[in-house]
Each structure stands twice: as structure tokens, then as C-alpha cells.
């Protein structure tokens, strides 16, 4: 199997469900391999990290979109993503990121801990109640989705009663982030983008009438004070992306991470007794099974990586999940080892496009995993989890679990009411 054939396998439904064997097939050709005339696949950690930080590489711009995706402006999904900080280059990217970064400072994220603990405790209570009533419990629906969506919606000022709407909308829209998408999948993504944009259009109008202490109000005021700083399209696009990116990656981190911990009971028991180890555990979970598996970059200048010449105008497919398992960087990379030193996963990227909400995602996981292990000593998988057939955003559709309701520890955290207040 040559590199092009391995890449075809990776994009297939089977390859997406478990990409790691295919990563190793690609890695056999070197950390950077040419898979087409101007197309390169990167599996090496050092090479992927360097390209993400290299100012000579950027994301797809409008000119290239016009060339490779004719008609993209008529797609609400592609247009929404393209006008956000996720898919723009400096100086537009730097300007938009600076305007949104105030919501994600270390101090503000630290202030969210009580809110995260309270919401997580309430969700565990609800899971225990379902189990006690003899009802099935799906970890994704009952915990992994509602925790991060509740937190990001609190930041954006989305009313609690509207939060259930976002799972389908975001799930539809994120199809456009996949490296390949069918016309049918694009139509689904467009529907999700349209509904999200309509919702945020109404929220923006509401915040103009009655400002609040939330990120939506702050961005609206930036736009209204000086339209050159944040255009109307950018305002809508970034609200959509902040919401979607704010919980999709964390949802996958929680689901992927729980499966790994339940597969490693000795390490899980240590984390249950030593919650102070949560930061190291979360970084290793991010490395071991990344919620974000890939990203792309375009070279603006001719360069050389991994003993391979990369001409200007080339596409680089950065397989972050493969880079996180590069044996040159992490010995025995297929082994989950929370004691592993110097873990710096590329799951949230690197360089100027490093995920703005990475600190918040880490906080939620650092709170959630010790809490789940402490309060639910009988937590176990109930059957086989079902993976999503996505590659870019890797996670589970369903994750059924069993809970021993009688053995569940009581909730001793922040009172439930605290979960409904933003810091």
C-alpha cells in the first residue's frame, strides 16, 4: 500500500473509526510524505509543530477557495467558517482573535472552576437518578455534551432553555470541517449553519436592546463602536465558531477520555484518589486519543520539511493524531501513561491558530474525570460505544454506561444554584 492508497483508506468510514493503524502505514514513508502533485501528509510531531508555527504557512484564503471551492460563498456553512478566526490569516485573524481573547484569559478561566464543578455535580446527580430508576444512561447525552455546552453558553449568554438546540446544529455544521464532504453532507451542514446564524442574529438584536455581562454583548459593542474592527459577517461567524468549537472538542475529549480511563482501571483508581494529578492525566488523554485529529495549511513560500522539498502553493495535511503518537517524541506512544514526562500534545494546534478555548477545555476535563471516578465507583461501559464516522473531530455518537446508584457518592460540591450564574 503506497501513501496515496493509505490516505484513501484513512478517509473511508472504516479508516475514520480507527485511524491509528493507517497513521502508522503513512508514517513508514517518513514524517512528511508527498501524496499528490502539491499535496503533502505530515505525521511527525516535530514537523507538524513547526509547520503550525511557521509564518510561511497559512490557512486557505479566499483566492484559493475561489479556485478549489467554486460557489463557496453560496454555502452558509463554508461561508460561516471562512469568515471566522478559524479560517483567516493575519492581519484579519490577529484582529479577530484579539477581540475575543478577553473571555479566555487564565484568570477568567480559573474563575469558571466553581461553575464547572457545580454543573458537573448536577449532571452526575441526574445520571445517578436515571440509573436508580432503571433507565439506560448514555454518557455522551447525559454528561459529555451538556457540560461543555452549558459552560460555553454561559460565556456567550445563551439562555439555559435554548442549549438543547445546539447539539444537532453544531453536529450538522462541523461536517464542513472534514477533509472530504459529499453534496448531501454539505446540505446538512448548510442547514445547521443557517439555523445557528438565525439564532445568533436574534441574540445579537436582543443584546443591542438589553446588554448583558457576556461575550456576545462584548463583541456586539466592539462591532457597533467601530465597524472596521469587526464586520457584521465576522461577528456572526465568530459567535457560531466560538459556540461550536467551544463544546465539540470538549465533548469528544470527555467521551474519548472516559473510555481510556475505564480501559485502564489502575490508572483510573490513582486519579480518583489523587485529583491533583488531573492536569497530567488530561494532557496524556489528549495525546493518546485526540479529539481533533487533523488540520490543513497552505505553504506561501518554498520550504523543506522532513528531508522533503515543499514548493510554494502546496497543501499540507497535518495529522495531529499521528503526530501525538510519534515514537521519536513519545517512546511507546501506543501506551497510555499519565506519568509520561513533557507531554505537549498538538490536539489544540500550535502557533497563531492555537485553540482559544484550550484552557477552558482542559479545566472542564480536569474537573470532570476525578469527579466521575470518585462519585461513581461502579461506572463501567455497557456494550460497545459507537464512534462517529468523522475524522477531523474524533468522538462517540453514543457511549452507554452502567452506574451502581447505591454505591454512588453524594454530591459535596458547590450548591446546584451556582451552576446558573456566570462568573
In order, the DSSP letters of 199-239 are HHHHHHHHHHHS--SSHHHHHHHHHHH-TTTS-HHHHHHHH
**Given CA atoms 206, 208, 210, 211 in this order, what sign does their dihedral have?**
positive
Task: Report pLDDT for 415.
Answer: 38
Task: Report pLDDT for 105.
Answer: 81
Q: How far apart are CA 119 and CA 131, in angstroms?
A: 19
Task: Report pLDDT for 242.
Answer: 85
Q: How far apart are CA 87 and CA 79, in angstroms?
A: 10
User: Are the C-beta atoms of residues 42 and 32 closer than 8 Å to each other?
Assistant: yes
Question: What Å distances lie between residue 422 and 197, 215, 250, 417, CA to CA?
Answer: 24, 11, 19, 11
pLDDT in tens, the chain (423 residues): 789 899 999 999 889 999 999 999 999 999 999 998 899 999 999 999 999 999 999 998 888 788 877 888 899 999 888 888 988 999 999 989 988 887 778 888 888 899 899 999 999 999 999 999 999 999 999 999 999 999 988 888 999 899 888 888 888 888 888 888 888 999 999 999 999 999 999 999 999 999 998 889 988 988 888 766 888 888 888 888 888 877 889 999 999 999 999 999 999 999 999 999 999 999 999 999 999 999 999 999 999 998 899 999 999 999 999 999 999 999 999 999 999 999 999 999 999 999 999 999 999 999 999 999 999 998 999 988 999 988 999 999 999 999 999 998 887 554 333 333 332
Task: Report pLDDT for 232.
Answer: 85
Q: How far apart are CA 217 and CA 215, in angstroms?
A: 5
Task: Report pLDDT for 422.
Answer: 31
Task: Tell me whether the omega of the peptide bond preceding residue 195 falls within 30 degrees of 0, making it cis.
Answer: no
Alpha helices (runs of H) in 274-382, residue ranges in sequence order: 278-288, 320-323, 358-375
Running DSSP on this structure, what letter comes out for residue 348?
T
Running DSSP on this structure, what letter comes out for residue 327?
T
Give the closest residue to 8 by CA, choosing from 20, 22, 18, 21: 22
Residue with grid cell 455518537, as numbered in its chain: 397
Q: How far apart are CA 317 and CA 323, in angstroms?
A: 11
User: Are the C-beta atoms of residues 320 and 19 closer than 8 Å to each other?
Assistant: no
Is 43 strand, coil or helix?
A: coil
R_g of the chain computed on alpha carbons: 21
User: Are the C-beta atoms of residues 84 and 234 closer than 8 Å to each other?
Assistant: yes
**Given CA atoms 137, 139, 140, 143 in this order, what sign does their dihedral have?**
positive
Task: Report pLDDT for 413.
Answer: 52
Q: Which residues contact 338 (CB under 8 A, 6 or more apart)?
A: 267, 270, 271, 277, 280, 281, 284
Q: How far apart are CA 76 and CA 186, in angstroms?
A: 10
What is the pTM for the complete model shown? 0.92
Q: How far apart are CA 283 and CA 285, in angstroms?
A: 5
Give the closest residue to 204 by CA, choosing from 148, 154, 153, 157: 157
At 348-377, the pLDDT tens digits run 999 999 999 999 999 999 999 999 999 999
Strands annotated E in 300-385: 303-305, 308-310, 315-319, 380-381
Q: How far apart are CA 11 and CA 179, in angstroms?
A: 8
Beta strand pairing call for 315-319 and 303-305: unpaired
Q: How far apart are CA 14 and CA 250, in angstroms?
A: 24
Amino acid at each position: 500500500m503506497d501513501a496515496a492508497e493509505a490516505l484513501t483508506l484513512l478517509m473511508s468510514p472504516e479508516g475514520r473509526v480507527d485511524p491509528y493503524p493507517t497513521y502508522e502505514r503513512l508514517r513508514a514513508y517518513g514524517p512528511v510524505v508527498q501524496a499528490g502533485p502539491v499535496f503533502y501528509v505530515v505525521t511527525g510531531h516535530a514537523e507538524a509543530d513547526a509547520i503550525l508555527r511557521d509564518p510561511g504557512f497559512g490557512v486557505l484564503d479566499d483566492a484559493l477557495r475561489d479556485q478549489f471551492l467554486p460557489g463557496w460563498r453560496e454555502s452558509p456553512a463554508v461561508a460561516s467558517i471562512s469568515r471566522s478566526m478559524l479560517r483567516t490569516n493575519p492581519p484579519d485573524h490577529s484582529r479577530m482573535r484579539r477581540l475575543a481573547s478577553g473571555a479566555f484569559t487564565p484568570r477568567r478561566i480559573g474563575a469558571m472552576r466553581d461553575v464547572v464543578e457545580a454543573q458537573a455535580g448536577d449532571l452526575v446527580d441526574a445520571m445517578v437518578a436515571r440509573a436508580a430508576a432503571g433507565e439506560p444512561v448514555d454518557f455522551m447525552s447525559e454528561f459529555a455534551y451538556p457540560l461543555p455546552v452549558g459552560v460555553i453558553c454561559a460565556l456567550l449568554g445563551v439562555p439555559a432553555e435554548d442549549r438543547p438546540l445546539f447539539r444537532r446544529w453544531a453536529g450538522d455544521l462541523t461536517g464542513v470541517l472534514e477533509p472530504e464532504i459529499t453534496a448531501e453532507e454539505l446540505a446538512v451542514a448548510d442547514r445547521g449553519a443557517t439555523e445557528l446564524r438565525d439564532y445568533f442574529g436574534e441574540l445579537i438584536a436582543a443584546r443591542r436592546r438589553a446588554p448583558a455581562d457576556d461575550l456576545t454583548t462584548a463583541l456586539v459593542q466592539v462591532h457597533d463602536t467601530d465597524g472596521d474592527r469587526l464586520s457584521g459577517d465576522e461577528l456572526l461567524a465568530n459567535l457560531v465558531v466560538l459556540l461550536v468549537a467551544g463544546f465539540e472538542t470538549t465533548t469528544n475529549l470527555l467521551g474519548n477520555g472516559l473510555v481510556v480511563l475505564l480501559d485502564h482501571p489502575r490508572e483510573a483508581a490513582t486519579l480518583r484518589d489523587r485529583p491533583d494529578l488531573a492536569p497530567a492525566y488530561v494532557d496524556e488523554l489528549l495525546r493518546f486519543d485526540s479529539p481533533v485529529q487533523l488540520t490543513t495549511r497552505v505553504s506561501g513560500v518554498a520550504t523543506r520539511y522532513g528531508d522533503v522539498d515543499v514548493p510554494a502553493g502546496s497543501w499540507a495535511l497535518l495529522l495531529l493524531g499521528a503526530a501525538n503518537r510519534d515514537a521519536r517524541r513519545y517512546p511507546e506512544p501506543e501506551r497510555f501513561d499519565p506519568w509520561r514526562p513533557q507531554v505537549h500534545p498538538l490536539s489544540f494546534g500550535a502557533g497563531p491558530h492555537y485553540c482559544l478555548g484550550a484552557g477552558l477545555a482542559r479545566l472542564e476535563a480536569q474537573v470532570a474525570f476525578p469527579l466521575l471516578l470518585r462519585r461513581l465507583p461502579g461506572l463501567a461501559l455497557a456494550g460497545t460505544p459507537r464512534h462517529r464516522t468523522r475524522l477531523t473531530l474524533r468522538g462517540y455518537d453514543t457511549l452507554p454506561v452502567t452506574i451502581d446508584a447505591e454505591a454512588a457518592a453524594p454530591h459535596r460540591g458547590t450548591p446546584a444554584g451556582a451552576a446558573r450564574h456566570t462568573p
